[in-house]
Amino acid sequence: MMEMILRWTLLAGLGAAAVCDLKWRRVPDVLLWGVFVLLAAEAAGGGRLFRLSTGIGVLIGALLLALSKISEGKIGEADGAVFVWTGLVIGGAGNLCLLFAVLCAAALGGGAWQILKRRRRVEIPMIPLVFVFYAGGWLCGI
């Protein structure tokens, strides 16, 4: 039961963040922190907060947050925060697979956009891709 609540909380948070990312190109801090606190509390209640896999999953998001700082915003902070969320729920291996799928889709989409629009710089919002791939993976039982 707790697993299902955790997954629905993540899906709702990703949906809200995806809408914000598409509409305003930023995600409010209150949403990022609010969903994080909810997920962390639910994960602690379900006994999964202190699992190695969960720690590795959160570490992947933390590394993305660090890359955001190093790259001076080329990778959005919200993208890293969202991968901290997903790490809490799907663990290290799942989070790594999700990140790989999202990066591949962003690369393909960005490349196609550059070819079609002949633009050098393309910004691809990642959070909607995270939402789509997470929801698709969950529905397919992955």
Q: Does position 1 have pLDDT exceeding 80, yes or no?
A: no
Q: What is the pLDDT of residues 15-74, one digit of tens each?
A: 999 999 999 999 999 999 999 999 999 999 888 888 999 999 999 999 999 999 999 888
Q: Which of 13, 3, 5, 29 is nearest to 131 (CA)?
A: 13
Query: Residue 132 contacts by C-beta under 8 Å, 6 or more apart in sequence?
Result: none
Confidence of residue 142 (pLDDT cuts 50, 70, 90): low
